[in-house]
Amino acid sequence: MVLQKHNNVHVLLLPYPAQGHINPLVQFAKRLASKGVKATIATTHYTVNTINAPNVGVEAISDGFDNGGFAQAKNVQLFLTSFRTVGAKTLSQLIERFQQTTTPVTCIVYDSFFPWALDVAKRHGVYGAAFFTNSAAVCNIFCRIHHGLLELPVEEEDLPLFVPGIPPLDLPDLPSFIRFPESYPDYLAMKLSQFSNLNKADFMFVNTFEALESEAVNGIRELCPAKLIGPMVPSAYLDGRIKGDRGYGASLWKPLSEECSDWLETKASKSVVYISFGSMVSLSNEQIEEVALGLEQSGMNFIWVLRQSEHAKLPKGYEEMVKEKGIIVTWCNQLELLEHQAIGCFVTHCGWNSTLETLSLGVPVVCLPQWADQLPDAKYLEQVWEVGVRPKEDESGVVRKEEFVRSLKMVMEGKRSEEIRSNASKWMKLAREAVGEGGSSDKNINEFVEHLRGAHVTANLNDY
């Protein structure tokens, strides 16, 4: 489908200012720009200079903490309350400024953590589209809780939890906000608030694709008309239709990709274990030590991306001890690593972006989820998509080194490894088909663009 270019449709995209939320929305902006739409990211003063994506504009708004963002606020509720008041005001000012130009805003695509952005859109007479950065399965769970159609389990005897379109969820599979609601009241409130005015939104987008989560999304469509537009992974790793699109164009950290790639070049195909727990997860000292000792015991090559603040948790003298087999770096370009032929598996915290990246690049996983939505993501990776293994925790909630090594060997060696790799290749192919020309996600994005163009033409005709 060839879409007409050079029109005045303008989409303003508002991400939550964290790496895992910025990346997919910036990627969606690039997809829209590739179809001739003017796309602009509206982000906080603290993150505005971290975004540099070709053909995508970037504008600053305020969250009330311009010198440090969430780290300056130090409190979830305080940060969200400030963003709702100051952010709504400065977002309105940005829209008003664009309304005086030849490219007024046609639609606001807002991170679902910011339901107030829909009110801003409606006040200005533009479309509002909620963008969910988690899986359709997770949307399904929290949407049903919001609507009173699903009760939070009070006792372990209330399990498994049965949700339409989702396999039965046992205690280890539950999002931590549900498993321990009293421990995360602000986060649970934020997850549920995503659905507070969703019935008034013009569009609902979820960063997933039809073949991956058809049952989960069918279970939610009766409540929310979700459009699947993912995976929002740079085009070079999927369909290649956006020239030069090899990175998200948004990074809060400087990658050490040369150090990583030079080391990988010396290793055999599928011989390296890649370990990363994302930009926010902090494992306990005990869990870090068990992973470290397990890697040493396995005898496998490994590259471990570990934030500087976490290095003190390693056993004393560890880096020197394992230097013949592994390297530890503070950051790397994850997509480049996953694409490298030397990588044999990914030890992951199962954040949704990492999940989509590993599926899109066909890399098997060992799942070490820590909190929030990572727990159901891990269930799907192991039991539904069958692309990896989740090691068993002991009674203290720690994966011991023996269990970790057993899981590594299952994914990297033997007959089970062959089945896992075959499944990983299947999902890689389906992910590429979804975003490729005429694929399910591509069609949904095209329909969105055409709807905005049709509305824009009507608005112009009404001016005469």
Asked if residues 227 and 203 have their Cβ atoms less than 8 Å apart, the reply is: yes
What Å distances lie between residue 389 and 148, 286, 343, 396, CA to CA? 33, 21, 16, 20
- Classify residue 299 by its DSSP letter: T
What Å distances lie between residue 282 and 112, 162, 286, 288, 330, CA to CA? 25, 30, 11, 9, 13
Strand 301-305 and strand 326-329: the pairing is parallel
In order, the DSSP letters of 354-409 are: HHHHHHHTT--EEE---STTHHHHHHIIIIIS--EE-PPP-TTS---HHHHHHHHH
Write out the chain's pLDDT in tens, 464 residues.
333 344 689 999 999 998 899 999 999 999 999 999 999 999 999 999 989 898 999 999 999 888 888 888 888 888 889 999 999 999 999 999 999 999 999 999 999 999 999 999 999 999 999 999 999 999 999 999 999 998 877 677 788 999 999 999 998 999 988 888 888 888 888 899 999 999 999 999 999 999 999 999 998 888 888 999 999 999 999 999 999 898 888 655 555 567 788 889 999 999 999 999 987 778 899 999 999 999 999 999 999 999 888 999 999 999 999 999 999 998 888 998 999 999 999 999 999 999 999 999 999 999 999 989 999 999 999 999 999 999 999 999 999 999 999 999 999 998 999 999 999 999 999 999 999 999 999 999 999 999 999 875 444 433 43
Tokens describing residue 193: 């608030």
Per-residue confidence (pLDDT) for residue 252, from 0 to 100: 56
**Catalytic entry in 21, 146, 340, 349:** 21
Please name every residue paired with 366 in a beta bridge, in sequence order, or none if there are none: 347, 389
| 257 residue type, one letter | S
- Catalytic annotation on 451? no
Q: Cα–Cα distance between 380 and 137 in angstroms, integer?
A: 9
**CA 10-14-19 angle, 5° bins:** 130
Per-residue confidence (pLDDT) for residue 148, from 0 to 100: 93
Phi, psi at 450, each rounded to 5°: -65, -35
Per-residue confidence (pLDDT) for residue 183, from 0 to 100: 82
Domains and CATH numbers, the chain: 10-241+437-462 (3.40.50.2000), 257-430 (3.40.50.2000)
Please name every residue paired with 131 in a beta bridge, in sequence order, or none if there are none: 111, 205
Per-residue confidence (pLDDT) for residue 254, from 0 to 100: 57
Tokens describing residue 46: 């603290």
In order, the DSSP letters of 213-228 are: HHHHHHTTTTTS-EEE
Asked if residues 137 and 166 have their Cβ atoms less than 8 Å apart, the reply is: yes
pTM (global) more than 0.85: yes
Per-residue confidence (pLDDT) for residue 6, from 0 to 100: 41
Per-residue confidence (pLDDT) for residue 178, from 0 to 100: 87
Per-residue confidence (pLDDT) for residue 94, from 0 to 100: 98
**Kind and range of the H or E element at 245?**
none
**Catalytic entry in 45, 63, 66, 111:** 111
- Catalytic annotation on 21? yes
